[in-house]
Amino acid sequence: MKADTLKLKDLFQKEVRYIIPTFQRPYVWSQDEQWEPLWEDVRNAAERYIDALIEAEGNDAKAEELAGTHFMGAVVLQQQPNAAKELETRDVIDGQQRLTTMQLLVDAAQHVMERLGEESEAKALARLVTNHFASGDQTFKLWPTSLDRDAFRAAMTNETDAAPFSSSQIVKAH
């Protein structure tokens, strides 16, 4: 077993499939208990980055270094064997609620950028939630438990009407 400290972008930038096994609980995070505190953390990290970007005179790499990191908690992944031509696949053993929430957050931000006509930013964010060399449901970097799949697919596919899943915590989070 190998333990590493990674940034979320390191987890999400590569072509990979994170599968939440059926033995994991469905998505249960809620606004008061988890989303609002997480949003405050995201806002604070973004504000630190903006301040650092000004200090670094627009140098993105330097700004990332100056802004520091935010600990999101442990994520435990188990590599699954796959052929060289297939997507790298990992089971999410721990951290499924955080990874799901962050995928939903990034996808929602991507959707907003798309609606605002910010194509470059929208494409950059889309690369963090989708595998571009895959098709069907394999395009999603994260794949939830079977109970959450339909709602997740509806939330993550901007053209799909998510109204039939309005009671789903996944759709509410998105």
| 122 band by pLDDT with thresholds 50, 70 and 90 | very high
At residue 168, what is the residue type? Answer: S
Span 43-50, average pLDDT: 94
Residue 2, pLDDT > 80, answer no
Question: In the structure, what pLDDT confidence band is assigned to residue 1 with cuts at 50, 70 and 90?
Answer: low
Query: pLDDT tens across 86-99, in order?
Result: 899 999 999 999 99
Query: Which pTM does this prediction carry?
Result: 0.91
Inter-residue contact 77 to 91 (CB < 8 Å): yes
Say if CB 21 and CB 145 are below 8 A apart.
yes
pLDDT, tens digit (0-9, with 9 covering 90-100), for 17-41: 999 999 999 999 999 999 999 999 9
Short-list 67, 40, 71, 42, CA closest to 52: 67
Burial class (CB in 10 A: 0-12, 13-18, 19+), 121: middle
What does the pLDDT look like over 152-167, one tens digit per residue? 999 999 777 888 999 9
Q: What is the mean pLDDT of residues 58-67?
A: 90
Please state at what angle helix 149-156 crosses helix 96-115, rounded to 10 degrees.
Answer: 30
